[in-house]
Amino acid sequence: MKLFILKNTTDRIQFTYRIVSMILLMIIFQLFSLKLLAQSPDQLMKQANSFYQEQQYDQAVITYQKILSQGFESSSLYYNLGNAYFKIGKIGYAILNYERGLKLSPGDEDLRYNLKIANTRTVDKITELPKLFIVQWWELLITSFTFTGLSIITLLIFWIFLLGIALFILSRRASIQRISLMVSSVSLAVLILSVVILISRYNHEAITDYGILTEEVYSVKVAPDYKSNDLFVIHEGIKFVVDDLVNEWYKIRLADGKVGWIPENVFGKI
């Protein structure tokens, strides 16, 4: 009797084990199948470019967006997506993606040129508040490079400074000591300037948020509420600073100093 019970229990354990194993194998097979079916970013990029060349711009937009949804981004991807939006007449989205591309690659001439063309299609022509020349020069300087690029430059200057100090200490020749002292002195001054620019660039990215209106037209509100009074009207493609957030409403500031509130679903952050 005991042997019968033991055998029956063993059979049940083996049966349960087989069922669990089959379920696990099915899950693994499904996951593997999904992985095989999922297209890589390179495949999607080729497909999107093909749609673009065939003038199927709506399909190109959808396919470029799939790449972004997988967590991949690049200046060339934003450039192509901006071009596709431009072709279907969505100027706000085109400008938004050009701006996002320039954030990754500030020196990209193609992005700058296409952004300039797209901006000519916008309705609002905002006259920016006048700035001192030194302020304009400084803003241009800190936005000419990415934060990563500035970090690499700063690191290289730091190593040049260390090399100059090392040569000055280890060398026994007066001529080499003079050269190394001059190199280390100049590199130290450049290093300090580079660190200041790097910090300013970080603050610029971390503190200042910019947005682009993607709706064709929107009336900016006095307060973060649909029932509040209208302040002024803006059109798609306009760029503004995003200052504050209250209950899915954002406080924006235009280049001419105007301030108001818009909901988050009518614009995109750069």
**Is 121 in a helix, a strand, or coil?**
coil
pLDDT in tens, 127-138: 766 667 777 777
- Does this chain's domain 41-119 share its CATH topology with 209-269? no
pLDDT band at 203 (very low <50, low <70, confident <90, very high): confident
pLDDT band at 6 (very low <50, low <70, confident <90, very high): very low
Fill in the DSSP letter of residue 229: P
* Domain assignments of the chain as residue spans, ordered by start: 41-119, 133-207, 209-269
Whether residue 170 is predicted with pLDDT greater than 60 in this model: the reply is yes
Segment 193-204 shows an average pLDDT of 84
Tokens of 88: 């279907």
- Indicate the class that CATH gives domain 209-269: mainly beta
Tokens of 143: 């936005």
What's the whole-number average pLDDT of the chain? 85
User: Could you give the CA distance from residue 155 to residue 138 in angstroms, rounded to a whole number?
Assistant: 21
Most confident listed range (169-173, 199-203, 217-221): 217-221
Fill in the DSSP letter of residue 264: G
Tokens of 55: 């003038």
Task: Between 4 and 209, name the one with better pLDDT.
Answer: 209
CATH topology of domain 41-119: 1.25.40
User: Could you give the CA distance from residue 196 to residue 144 in angstroms, rounded to a whole number?
Assistant: 15
pLDDT band at 36 (very low <50, low <70, confident <90, very high): very low
pLDDT in tens, 59-94: 999 999 999 999 999 999 999 999 999 999 999 999
Neighbours of 98 (CB within 10 A): 31
Going from the C-alpha of 149 to that of each of 72, 106, 144, 197, 202, the distances in angstroms are 20, 10, 10, 12, 12
